[in-house]
């Protein structure tokens, strides 16, 4: 008769609405992340950017995470999760509203500044929401509770790509001849201005929604899951260096994020280089890409009942190495098989399939890296958030390779994700083994 009373609570009684509201944040921060993939293609057209220059969209975004991750952790340690989430949402909204003056000015650096502000807010949200959800219930159900919340992240990603494809892409892609005609007629500048202004309304509406959520969180009751009581045990970098599995995780996460963001950022460009698809049609494939990401996360969670997570991640890494080789070899740039259009579609399919197998990598690397850190866990988690800077560095590197005179295509730049999957494979099979004081 006491089974029901003794059963561990998934969510702390009385805080179901709080759980739903914070879980909504997992959906929301995926929106600007995947909108970046649309922005890269849009800015290449509206601002006449090279692949390298457009790749700085991801650089500015991940730099926000890098710079604010530790300050966000320190702020929430002092002020609590609720205050941290509200501050994060205010930064998020401010960055969205900055898109309007950036679009009106048509200056690329203004857009990068707005993206930096958005990402600064997301650093608060990701660090706070993950930690808060873990503590919002019985410790025995923490993994199940966090997986439930994280399942809404890829749904937000799908929504972001769909919104960007429908409302940002105009479908107007003039050829070199048509551009020359517009320049002769004096209408080309007006065309570029109109394309730049298309990004404004989407971000303004998103900013308004973010403010509404911030207001709801302000008015919602939060339980006492604060970290201020841990002032005597904050952990230290010196102590963290005793855990090889932690710093191996930081390295693996750096390269994984580079592979993920680089692949997604240049997917539309790769598709258009190797098929007759328009930007809107290619954007549809980006939506399919995010659906596969969501399916991969659910399927991998199921498989983890029977296969050790790091071992499964290692197998997925090896599969992705093979898929990237197909992406390169099946491109028009390589054209080594002589299959012409058929081979190009194989490459496109392989590139999209890598998303399915990368789906478990971020949470698995994160969970493996913080395992056994004890009082150093919060600081270790903050540094793992900082490792997202990998996307900021490796995406422009891919753009540099793609823009080189010997390449002038995305396909050879995929050597970067392939190397990244080699690093993840090493971490999966060797580097993730817990070490340091946890094993003593």
Q: Give pLDDT, residue 226.
A: 46
pLDDT value at 221 more than 60: yes
Candidates 1.20.1250.20, 3.40.50.740, 1.10.275.10, 3.30.420.130; CATH matching 236-440: 1.20.1250.20
pLDDT confidence band for 230 (50 / 70 / 90): very low
Q: Give pLDDT, residue 138.
A: 74
* Cα–Cα dist 92/81, whole Å: 16
Residue pLDDT, tens place only, 385-437: 888 888 888 988 999 999 988 878 999 999 999 999 999 999 999 998 887 77
The residue among 166, 133, 135 whose CA lies nearest residue 152 is 133
pLDDT confidence band for 256 (50 / 70 / 90): very high
* Cα–Cα dist 200/105, whole Å: 11
Residue pLDDT, tens place only, 361-392: 988 888 788 777 777 777 787 888 888 888 88
Query: Two tokens at 78?
Result: 């002092």
DSSP-assigned letter for residue 15: -
Residue pLDDT, tens place only, 319-337: 999 999 999 998 888 875 4
* Cα–Cα dist 327/50, whole Å: 21
Determine the length of the chain: 440
27-31, 188-192, 338-342, range with the lowest pLDDT: 338-342
* Cα–Cα dist 168/184, whole Å: 26
Q: Give the angle subtended at the CA of 76 by the CAs of 72 and 79, to the nearest 5°.
A: 130
Residue pLDDT, tens place only, 152-210: 888 998 899 889 989 999 989 898 899 999 999 999 999 999 999 999 999 999 999 99
13-22, 70-79, 88-97, 164-173, range with the lowest pLDDT: 70-79
What is the Cβ-side half-sphere exposure of residue 218, based on CA atoms within 13 angstroms?
11
Domain map (residue ranges) of the chain: 8-223, 236-440
R_g over Cα of the chain: 22
In contact, 12 and 223? CB cutoff 8 Å: yes
* Cα–Cα dist 237/73, whole Å: 14
The residue among 38, 59, 374 whose CA lies nearest residue 230 is 374
Same fold, 8-223 and 236-440: yes
Instruction: Provide CB contacts within 8 A for 413, sequence distance 6+.
Output: 51, 262, 266, 397, 398, 399, 401, 402, 407
pLDDT confidence band for 1 (50 / 70 / 90): very low
Query: DSSP letters along 47-77, please?
Result: S---HHHHTHHHHHHHHHHHHHHHHHHHHHH
**Quick count: other Cβ atoms within 10 Å of Cβ 346?**
18
What are the CA-CA distances from residue 26 to residues 222, 232, 284, 333 (Å)? Answer: 17, 31, 23, 38
What is the Cβ-side half-sphere exposure of residue 364, based on CA atoms within 13 angstroms?
30
* Cα–Cα dist 159/148, whole Å: 18
Q: Give pLDDT, residue 233.
A: 54
Per-residue burial over 246-277, b = 16 or more CB atoms within 10 Å of its CB, e = otherwise: bbbbbbbbbbbbbbbbbbbbbbbbbbbbbbee
pTM confidence score? 0.79
Average pLDDT over residues 342-357: 89
Per-residue burial over 309-329, b = 16 or more CB atoms within 10 Å of its CB, e = otherwise: bbebbbebbbbbbebbebbbb
pLDDT value at 94 more than 80: yes
Q: Give pLDDT, residue 189.
A: 93
Instruction: Provide CB contacts within 8 A for 342, sequence distance 6+.
Output: none
Give the percent of the chain with pLDDT over 90: 49
Q: Does domain 8-223 have CATH number 1.10.760.10?
A: no
* Cα–Cα dist 406/397, whole Å: 15
């Amino acid at each position: 008769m006491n089974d029901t009373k003794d059963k561990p609570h998934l969510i702390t009684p009385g805080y179901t609405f709080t759980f739903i509201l914070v879980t909504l944040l997992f959906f929301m921060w995926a929106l600007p992340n995947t909108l970046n993939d649309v922005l890269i293609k849009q800015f290449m057209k509206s601002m006449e950017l090279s692949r390298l220059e457009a790749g700085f969209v991801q650089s500015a975004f991940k730099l926000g995470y890098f710079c604010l991750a530790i300050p966000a952790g320190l702020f929430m340690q002092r002020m609590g999760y609720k205050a941290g989430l509200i501050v994060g949402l205010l930064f998020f909204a401010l960055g969205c509203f900055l898109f309007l003056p950036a679009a009106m000015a048509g200056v690329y650096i203004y857009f990068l500044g707005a993206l930096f502000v958005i990402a600064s807010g997301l650093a608060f949200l990701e660090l706070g929401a993950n930690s808060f959800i873990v503590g919002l219930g019985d410790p025995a159900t923490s993994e199940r509770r966090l997986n439930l919340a994280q399942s809404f992240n890829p749904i937000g990603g799908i929504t972001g790509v769909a919104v960007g494809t429908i409302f940002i892409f105009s479908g107007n892609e003039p050829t070199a001849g048509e551009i020359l005609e517009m320049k002769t007629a004096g209408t080309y500048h007006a065309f570029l201005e109109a394309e730049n202004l298309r990004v404004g309304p989407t971000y303004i509406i998103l900013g308004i929604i973010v403010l509404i959520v911030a207001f709801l969180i302000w008015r919602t009751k939060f339980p006492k899951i604060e970290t201020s009581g841990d002032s005597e045990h904050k952990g230290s970098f010196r102590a963290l260096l005793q855990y090889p599995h932690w710093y191996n995780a930081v390295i693996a996460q750096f390269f994984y994020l580079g592979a993920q963001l680089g692949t997604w950022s240049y997917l539309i460009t790769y598709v258009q280089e190797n098929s007759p698809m328009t930007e809107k049609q290619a954007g549809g494939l980006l939506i399919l890409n995010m659906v596969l990401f969501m399916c991969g996360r659910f399927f991998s969670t199921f498989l983890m009942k029977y296969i050790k997570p790091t071992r499964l991640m290692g197998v997925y890494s090896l599969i992705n190495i093979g898929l990237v080789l197909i992406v390169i070899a099946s491109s028009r740039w390589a054209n080594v098989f002589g299959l012409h259009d058929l081979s190009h579609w194989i490459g496109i399919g392989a590139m999209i399939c890598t998303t399915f197998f990368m789906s478990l990598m971020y949470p698995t690397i994160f969970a493996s890296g913080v395992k056994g850190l004890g009082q150093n866990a919060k600081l270790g988690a903050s540094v793992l958030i900082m490792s997202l800077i990998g996307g900021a560095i490796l995406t422009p590197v891919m753009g540099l390779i793609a823009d080189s005179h010997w390449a002038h295509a995305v396909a050879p730049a995929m050597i970067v994700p392939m190397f990244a999957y080699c690093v993840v494979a090493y971490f999966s099979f060797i580097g993730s083994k817990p070490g340091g004081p946890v094993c003593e």
